[in-house]
Protein backbone atom coordinates (compact mmCIF):
# COMPACT_ATOMS: atom_id res chain seq x y z
CA UNK A 1 0.00 0.00 0.00
CA UNK A 2 1.33 3.46 -0.85
CA UNK A 3 2.15 5.40 2.24
CA UNK A 4 0.86 8.89 2.93
CA UNK A 5 2.86 11.73 1.41
CA UNK A 6 4.29 12.65 4.80
CA UNK A 7 5.32 9.15 5.86
CA UNK A 8 6.60 8.41 2.36
CA UNK A 9 8.84 11.45 2.44
CA UNK A 10 10.13 10.42 5.86
CA UNK A 11 10.75 6.88 4.66
CA UNK A 12 12.77 8.03 1.67
CA UNK A 13 14.60 10.74 3.64
CA UNK A 14 16.28 13.58 1.81
CA UNK A 15 16.30 11.63 -1.44
CA UNK A 16 12.65 12.28 -2.13
CA UNK A 17 12.29 16.06 -1.82
CA UNK A 18 8.91 15.76 -3.50
CA UNK A 19 7.40 18.96 -4.84
CA UNK A 20 3.79 19.92 -4.19
CA UNK A 21 2.62 18.69 -7.62
CA UNK A 22 4.49 15.40 -7.13
CA UNK A 23 2.81 14.86 -3.77
CA UNK A 24 -0.57 15.52 -5.41
CA UNK A 25 0.21 13.00 -8.15
CA UNK A 26 1.23 10.37 -5.57
CA UNK A 27 -2.01 10.92 -3.66
CA UNK A 28 -4.07 10.67 -6.86
CA UNK A 29 -2.32 7.47 -7.88
CA UNK A 30 -2.79 5.69 -4.54
CA UNK A 31 -6.31 4.32 -5.25
CA UNK A 32 -5.14 2.92 -8.61
CA UNK A 33 -2.02 1.13 -7.33
CA UNK A 34 -1.82 -2.31 -5.76
CA UNK A 35 1.16 -4.36 -4.61
CA UNK A 36 1.72 -7.98 -5.61
CA UNK A 37 2.72 -10.12 -2.63
CA UNK A 38 3.40 -13.73 -1.74
CA UNK A 39 4.29 -15.14 1.70
CA UNK A 40 5.02 -11.69 3.05
CA UNK A 41 7.32 -10.71 0.16
CA UNK A 42 6.38 -7.73 -2.03
CA UNK A 43 7.35 -8.41 -5.63
CA UNK A 44 6.23 -5.18 -7.24
CA UNK A 45 3.40 -2.86 -8.16
CA UNK A 46 0.35 -3.24 -10.37
CA UNK A 47 -1.90 -0.51 -11.77
CA UNK A 48 -5.64 -0.95 -12.33
CA UNK A 49 -6.93 -0.13 -15.80
CA UNK A 50 -10.58 -1.06 -15.11
CA UNK A 51 -12.62 -0.81 -11.93
CA UNK A 52 -13.76 -4.42 -12.15
CA UNK A 53 -10.27 -5.76 -11.48
CA UNK A 54 -8.13 -5.74 -14.62
CA UNK A 55 -4.65 -4.48 -13.83
CA UNK A 56 -1.22 -4.43 -15.42
CA UNK A 57 2.18 -5.24 -13.99
CA UNK A 58 5.65 -6.05 -15.30
CA UNK A 59 6.42 -9.70 -15.98
CA UNK A 60 9.23 -9.65 -13.38
CA UNK A 61 6.72 -9.25 -10.55
CA UNK A 62 5.17 -12.63 -11.37
CA UNK A 63 8.45 -14.54 -11.41
CA UNK A 64 8.06 -15.71 -7.82
CA UNK A 65 4.65 -17.23 -8.42
CA UNK A 66 2.68 -14.57 -6.53
CA UNK A 67 -1.12 -14.84 -6.79
CA UNK A 68 -2.34 -12.09 -4.45
CA UNK A 69 -2.35 -8.32 -4.57
CA UNK A 70 -3.14 -5.70 -1.95
CA UNK A 71 -4.98 -2.55 -3.02
CA UNK A 72 -4.34 0.96 -1.78
CA UNK A 73 -7.23 0.56 0.68
CA UNK A 74 -5.70 -2.64 2.11
CA UNK A 75 -8.03 -5.11 0.39
CA UNK A 76 -6.39 -8.47 -0.40
CA UNK A 77 -7.42 -10.04 -3.71
CA UNK A 78 -6.38 -13.18 -5.54
CA UNK A 79 -5.61 -12.71 -9.23
CA UNK A 80 -4.83 -14.69 -12.37
CA UNK A 81 -2.62 -13.72 -15.35
CA UNK A 82 -4.54 -13.11 -18.58
CA UNK A 83 -2.01 -12.14 -21.25
CA UNK A 84 1.62 -11.00 -21.59
CA UNK A 85 2.52 -8.34 -24.14
CA UNK A 86 6.07 -9.09 -25.27
CA UNK A 87 7.25 -5.67 -26.57
CA UNK A 88 6.14 -3.74 -23.47
CA UNK A 89 6.92 -6.59 -21.02
CA UNK A 90 3.56 -5.82 -19.38
CA UNK A 91 1.20 -8.53 -18.16
CA UNK A 92 -2.57 -8.15 -17.88
CA UNK A 93 -3.93 -9.70 -14.69
CA UNK A 94 -7.49 -10.00 -13.37
CA UNK A 95 -8.62 -10.21 -9.77
CA UNK A 96 -10.80 -13.22 -9.04
CA UNK A 97 -13.24 -10.93 -7.23
CA UNK A 98 -13.90 -7.34 -8.26
CA UNK A 99 -12.26 -4.84 -5.89
CA UNK A 100 -14.60 -2.85 -3.70
CA UNK A 101 -13.11 0.50 -4.58
CA UNK A 102 -10.27 1.36 -6.94
CA UNK A 103 -9.40 4.04 -9.47
CA UNK A 104 -7.74 3.52 -12.84
CA UNK A 105 -4.74 4.83 -14.75
CA UNK A 106 -4.41 5.83 -18.40
CA UNK A 107 -1.43 5.93 -20.71
CA UNK A 108 0.89 8.86 -21.29
CA UNK A 109 1.31 10.56 -24.64
CA UNK A 110 3.87 12.79 -26.34
CA UNK A 111 3.07 15.70 -24.02
CA UNK A 112 4.24 13.92 -20.87
CA UNK A 113 5.71 10.55 -21.79
CA UNK A 114 9.11 11.31 -23.25
CA UNK A 115 11.00 13.75 -21.10
CA UNK A 116 11.63 15.26 -17.70
CA UNK A 117 10.99 14.26 -14.11
CA UNK A 118 8.76 11.27 -13.46
CA UNK A 119 7.80 8.95 -10.58
CA UNK A 120 8.89 5.32 -10.20
CA UNK A 121 6.70 2.99 -8.11
CA UNK A 122 8.87 0.32 -6.45
CA UNK A 123 8.00 -2.49 -4.01
CA UNK A 124 8.89 -0.14 -1.15
CA UNK A 125 7.05 2.91 -2.41
CA UNK A 126 7.65 5.79 -4.79
CA UNK A 127 10.86 7.59 -5.74
CA UNK A 128 11.67 10.33 -8.20
CA UNK A 129 13.21 9.46 -11.56
CA UNK A 130 14.11 11.27 -14.75
CA UNK A 131 13.87 10.41 -18.43
CA UNK A 132 17.25 11.42 -19.83
CA UNK A 133 16.94 10.09 -23.38
CA UNK A 134 14.24 8.83 -25.72
CA UNK A 135 16.73 7.88 -28.44
CA UNK A 136 17.50 4.29 -27.41
CA UNK A 137 16.49 1.05 -29.02
CA UNK A 138 16.22 -2.51 -27.76
CA UNK A 139 15.69 -5.82 -29.51
CA UNK A 140 13.34 -8.56 -28.34
CA UNK A 141 15.38 -11.75 -28.28
CA UNK A 142 12.60 -14.04 -29.57
CA UNK A 143 10.89 -11.95 -32.23
CA UNK A 144 13.98 -9.91 -33.24
CA UNK A 145 11.67 -6.93 -33.10
CA UNK A 146 13.08 -3.46 -32.41
CA UNK A 147 11.61 -1.73 -29.36
CA UNK A 148 12.05 2.05 -28.88
CA UNK A 149 13.20 2.74 -25.33
CA UNK A 150 13.77 5.58 -22.88
CA UNK A 151 16.81 5.84 -20.66
CA UNK A 152 15.70 6.51 -17.09
CA UNK A 153 17.80 7.45 -14.06
CA UNK A 154 16.36 6.49 -10.70
CA UNK A 155 17.55 7.44 -7.24
CA UNK A 156 19.49 4.59 -5.69
CA UNK A 157 17.33 2.23 -3.65
CA UNK A 158 18.04 -0.89 -1.57
CA UNK A 159 15.71 -2.94 -3.80
CA UNK A 160 15.82 -4.06 -7.41
CA UNK A 161 14.23 -1.60 -9.83
CA UNK A 162 13.40 -4.11 -12.57
CA UNK A 163 9.66 -4.02 -13.14
CA UNK A 164 9.13 -0.62 -11.51
CA UNK A 165 6.10 1.21 -12.95
CA UNK A 166 6.87 4.69 -14.27
CA UNK A 167 4.36 7.53 -14.20
CA UNK A 168 4.46 11.03 -15.62
CA UNK A 169 3.86 14.14 -13.55
CA UNK A 170 0.23 13.90 -14.67
CA UNK A 171 -0.02 10.41 -13.16
CA UNK A 172 -0.23 8.60 -16.50
CA UNK A 173 1.64 5.36 -17.17
CA UNK A 174 4.77 5.68 -19.31
CA UNK A 175 6.02 2.11 -18.98
CA UNK A 176 8.07 -0.08 -16.69
CA UNK A 177 11.76 -0.83 -16.25
CA UNK A 178 12.64 -3.68 -18.61
CA UNK A 179 16.43 -3.62 -18.28
CA UNK A 180 19.13 -1.99 -16.18
CA UNK A 181 22.57 -0.81 -17.18
CA UNK A 182 24.00 -1.17 -13.70
CA UNK A 183 22.83 -1.42 -10.11
CA UNK A 184 24.77 0.66 -7.58
CA UNK A 185 26.21 -1.13 -4.56
CA UNK A 186 24.21 -0.49 -1.42
CA UNK A 187 24.47 -1.57 2.17
CA UNK A 188 22.72 -4.87 3.04
CA UNK A 189 19.15 -4.44 4.17
CA UNK A 190 16.16 -6.48 5.17
CA UNK A 191 14.91 -6.18 1.59
CA UNK A 192 18.07 -7.48 -0.01
CA UNK A 193 17.25 -11.16 0.40
CA UNK A 194 13.67 -10.65 -0.70
CA UNK A 195 14.77 -9.00 -3.94
CA UNK A 196 17.72 -11.21 -4.79
CA UNK A 197 15.64 -13.30 -7.16
CA UNK A 198 14.36 -10.20 -8.89
CA UNK A 199 17.88 -8.89 -9.39
CA UNK A 200 18.82 -12.15 -11.06
CA UNK A 201 15.71 -12.02 -13.22
CA UNK A 202 16.54 -8.63 -14.67
CA UNK A 203 18.94 -10.24 -17.13
CA UNK A 204 16.17 -12.50 -18.45
CA UNK A 205 13.51 -9.96 -19.41
CA UNK A 206 13.88 -10.77 -23.12
CA UNK A 207 14.90 -7.22 -24.07
CA UNK A 208 18.49 -6.69 -25.11
CA UNK A 209 19.20 -2.97 -25.24
CA UNK A 210 21.74 -1.38 -27.58
CA UNK A 211 23.11 1.14 -25.13
CA UNK A 212 26.17 3.23 -24.43
CA UNK A 213 27.29 3.41 -20.80
CA UNK A 214 28.00 6.90 -19.53
CA UNK A 215 28.69 8.63 -16.25
CA UNK A 216 25.62 10.05 -14.57
CA UNK A 217 25.18 13.31 -12.75
CA UNK A 218 23.44 13.22 -9.36
CA UNK A 219 19.67 13.58 -9.43
CA UNK A 220 19.78 14.35 -5.72
CA UNK A 221 21.92 13.59 -2.68
CA UNK A 222 21.83 9.83 -3.41
CA UNK A 223 23.45 7.78 -6.18
CA UNK A 224 21.64 6.70 -9.32
CA UNK A 225 20.62 3.54 -11.12
CA UNK A 226 20.19 3.67 -14.89
CA UNK A 227 17.29 1.73 -16.34
CA UNK A 228 15.49 1.38 -19.66
CA UNK A 229 11.78 1.30 -20.38
CA UNK A 230 9.84 0.79 -23.60
CA UNK A 231 8.46 4.17 -24.63
CA UNK A 232 4.95 5.45 -24.07
CA UNK A 233 3.97 4.44 -27.63
CA UNK A 234 4.69 0.80 -26.82
CA UNK A 235 2.83 1.05 -23.50
CA UNK A 236 -0.16 2.81 -25.07
CA UNK A 237 -0.49 0.08 -27.70
CA UNK A 238 -0.35 -2.63 -25.02
CA UNK A 239 -2.88 -0.95 -22.72
CA UNK A 240 -5.29 -0.22 -25.57
CA UNK A 241 -5.11 -3.87 -26.59
CA UNK A 242 -5.66 -5.06 -23.02
CA UNK A 243 -8.88 -3.05 -22.93
CA UNK A 244 -10.33 -4.80 -26.00
CA UNK A 245 -12.59 -7.88 -25.68
CA UNK A 246 -9.69 -10.11 -26.76
CA UNK A 247 -7.31 -8.48 -24.25
CA UNK A 248 -4.42 -8.60 -26.73
CA UNK A 249 -2.42 -5.94 -28.51
CA UNK A 250 -1.32 -6.97 -32.01
CA UNK A 251 1.77 -5.24 -33.36
CA UNK A 252 1.92 -3.92 -36.91
CA UNK A 253 4.58 -5.40 -39.18
CA UNK A 254 6.01 -4.35 -42.55
CA UNK A 255 8.32 -7.36 -42.94
CA UNK A 256 11.79 -5.93 -43.48
CA UNK A 257 15.14 -5.86 -41.74
CA UNK A 258 16.72 -2.41 -41.95
CA UNK A 259 19.86 -0.47 -41.03
CA UNK A 260 20.50 3.26 -40.76
CA UNK A 261 21.30 4.95 -44.04
CA UNK A 262 21.67 8.42 -45.50
CA UNK A 263 18.15 9.78 -45.93
CA UNK A 264 16.37 7.09 -43.93
CA UNK A 265 16.76 3.35 -43.39
CA UNK A 266 18.12 0.86 -45.92
CA UNK A 267 16.32 -2.44 -46.48
CA UNK A 268 18.62 -5.41 -45.85
CA UNK A 269 16.04 -8.20 -46.07
CA UNK A 270 12.43 -8.52 -47.24
CA UNK A 271 10.42 -11.33 -45.64
CA UNK A 272 8.68 -13.69 -48.06
CA UNK A 273 4.95 -12.95 -48.52
CA UNK A 274 5.22 -9.96 -46.18
CA UNK A 275 3.42 -6.62 -46.71
CA UNK A 276 6.74 -5.17 -47.91
CA UNK A 277 7.17 -7.93 -50.49
CA UNK A 278 3.60 -7.50 -51.72
CA UNK A 279 4.16 -3.74 -52.04
CA UNK A 280 7.24 -4.32 -54.21
CA UNK A 281 9.86 -3.12 -51.74
CA UNK A 282 13.32 -4.51 -52.54
CA UNK A 283 16.65 -5.01 -50.80
CA UNK A 284 18.64 -1.79 -51.12
CA UNK A 285 15.61 0.52 -51.06
CA UNK A 286 15.93 3.43 -48.64
CA UNK A 287 12.71 4.14 -46.75
CA UNK A 288 12.26 7.80 -45.79
CA UNK A 289 8.56 8.10 -44.89
CA UNK A 290 5.80 5.72 -43.79
CA UNK A 291 2.22 6.92 -43.48
CA UNK A 292 3.32 10.54 -43.32
CA UNK A 293 5.85 9.86 -40.56
CA UNK A 294 9.42 10.85 -41.31
CA UNK A 295 11.83 7.93 -41.01
CA UNK A 296 15.32 9.21 -40.19
CA UNK A 297 16.76 6.12 -38.54
CA UNK A 298 15.99 2.76 -36.90
CA UNK A 299 14.44 4.48 -33.88
CA UNK A 300 11.89 6.30 -36.05
CA UNK A 301 11.15 3.03 -37.86
CA UNK A 302 10.61 1.17 -34.57
CA UNK A 303 8.30 3.90 -33.25
CA UNK A 304 6.30 3.81 -36.48
CA UNK A 305 5.36 0.16 -36.03
CA UNK A 306 3.75 0.97 -32.69
CA UNK A 307 1.82 3.95 -34.07
CA UNK A 308 -0.11 1.85 -36.59
CA UNK A 309 -2.36 -1.20 -36.38
CA UNK A 310 -2.33 -4.40 -38.44
CA UNK A 311 -4.57 -3.80 -41.46
CA UNK A 312 -3.67 -0.10 -41.79
CA UNK A 313 -2.84 0.99 -45.34
CA UNK A 314 0.18 3.27 -45.49
CA UNK A 315 2.02 5.12 -48.23
CA UNK A 316 5.76 4.44 -48.15
CA UNK A 317 8.29 6.75 -49.76
CA UNK A 318 11.47 5.04 -50.93
CA UNK A 319 14.64 5.93 -52.78
CA UNK A 320 15.74 3.25 -55.24
CA UNK A 321 19.01 4.33 -56.79
CA UNK A 322 18.30 7.70 -58.42
CA UNK A 323 14.55 7.07 -58.48
CA UNK A 324 12.04 8.27 -55.87
CA UNK A 325 8.97 6.04 -55.49
CA UNK A 326 5.81 5.87 -53.40
CA UNK A 327 4.28 2.45 -52.78
CA UNK A 328 1.28 1.40 -50.70
CA UNK A 329 1.38 -1.44 -48.17
CA UNK A 330 -1.22 -2.99 -45.91
CA UNK A 331 0.53 -3.66 -42.61
CA UNK A 332 0.39 -7.17 -41.21
CA UNK A 333 0.67 -8.55 -37.69
CA UNK A 334 3.83 -9.83 -36.06
CA UNK A 335 3.59 -13.60 -35.58
CA UNK A 336 5.73 -16.21 -33.90
CA UNK A 337 6.05 -18.13 -37.17
CA UNK A 338 7.36 -15.06 -38.98
CA UNK A 339 9.87 -14.38 -36.20
CA UNK A 340 11.12 -17.95 -36.36
CA UNK A 341 11.51 -17.82 -40.15
CA UNK A 342 13.39 -14.54 -39.91
CA UNK A 343 15.71 -15.87 -37.21
CA UNK A 344 16.38 -19.02 -39.26
CA UNK A 345 17.13 -16.87 -42.29
CA UNK A 346 19.61 -14.78 -40.32
CA UNK A 347 21.30 -17.85 -38.86
CA UNK A 348 21.61 -19.41 -42.32
CA UNK A 349 23.77 -16.49 -43.45
CA UNK A 350 26.26 -16.91 -40.63
CA UNK A 351 29.59 -18.53 -41.49
CA UNK A 352 30.69 -21.13 -38.89
CA UNK A 353 34.07 -20.59 -37.24
CA UNK A 354 36.86 -22.65 -38.78
CA UNK A 355 39.69 -24.01 -36.68
CA distances from 168 to 130, 229, 317, 329, 333 (A): 10, 13, 35, 35, 30
Q: What is the mean pLDDT of the chain?
A: 78
Give residue 223's pLDDT: 67
- Complete DSSP assignment for 99-164: -SS-----B--TTTSSSEEEEEEETTEEEEEEEEEEEEEEEETTT--EEEEEEEEEE--SS--TT-
Give residue 5's pLDDT: 32
CA distances from 65 to 10, 38, 104, 214 (A): 32, 8, 25, 35
**pTM confidence score:** 0.74
Residue 208 has pLDDT above 80, yes or no: no
The boundaries of every CATH 2.40.10.10 domain in the chain are 5-95
pLDDT digits (tens, 9 = 90+) for 156-192: 666 678 889 999 999 999 999 987 764 444 333 333 3
Q: Provide, rounded to the nearest whole percent, the portion of the chain with pLDDT above 70.
A: 74
The boundaries of every CATH 2.30.42.10 domain in the chain are 252-348
Nearest CA to 49 out of 107, 113, 101 is that of 107
- Taking the CA atoms of residue 17, residue 20, residue 22 and residue 23 in that order, the dihedral angle to the nearest 10 degrees is 90
Give residue 355's pLDDT: 31
Give residue 138's pLDDT: 77
Stretch 10-21: mean pLDDT, rounded?
56
| CATH 1.10.260.40 corresponds to the domain 5-95 | no
CB atoms inside a 10 Å sphere around CB 3? 16
Q: Which of 4-13, 144-153, 157-166, 246-255 shows the lowest mean pLDDT across its residues?
A: 4-13
3-state secondary structure of 213: coil
- When pLDDT is cut at 50, 70 and 90, the band that residue 281 belongs to is very high
- When pLDDT is cut at 50, 70 and 90, the band that residue 217 belongs to is very low
Of the candidate CATH numbers 2.30.42.10, 2.20.25.90, 2.40.30.170, 3.90.1640.10, the domain formed by 252-348 belongs to 2.30.42.10
Residue 7 has pLDDT above 50, yes or no: no
Query: Could you tell me the sign of the dihedral formed by the alpha carbons of 183, 189, 190, 196, in that order?
Result: positive
pLDDT digits (tens, 9 = 90+) for 19-49: 899 999 999 999 999 999 888 888 999 999 9
CA–centroid distance for 233 within its chain = 9
Give residue 143's pLDDT: 60
- Looking at domain 116-239, which CATH architecture does it have? Beta Barrel (2.40)
Amino acid sequence: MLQSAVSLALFLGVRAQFTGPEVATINNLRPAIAYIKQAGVTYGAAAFITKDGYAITHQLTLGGGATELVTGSGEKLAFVPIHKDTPSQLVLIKTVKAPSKVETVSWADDSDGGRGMILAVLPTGTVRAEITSSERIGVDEKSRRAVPMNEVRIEQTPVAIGGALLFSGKGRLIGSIAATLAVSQVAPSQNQGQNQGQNQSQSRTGIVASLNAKSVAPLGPAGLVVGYTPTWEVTKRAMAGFLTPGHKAPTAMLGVLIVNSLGGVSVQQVDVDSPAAQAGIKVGDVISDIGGKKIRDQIDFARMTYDFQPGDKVAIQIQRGSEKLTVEATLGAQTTQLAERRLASIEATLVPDKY
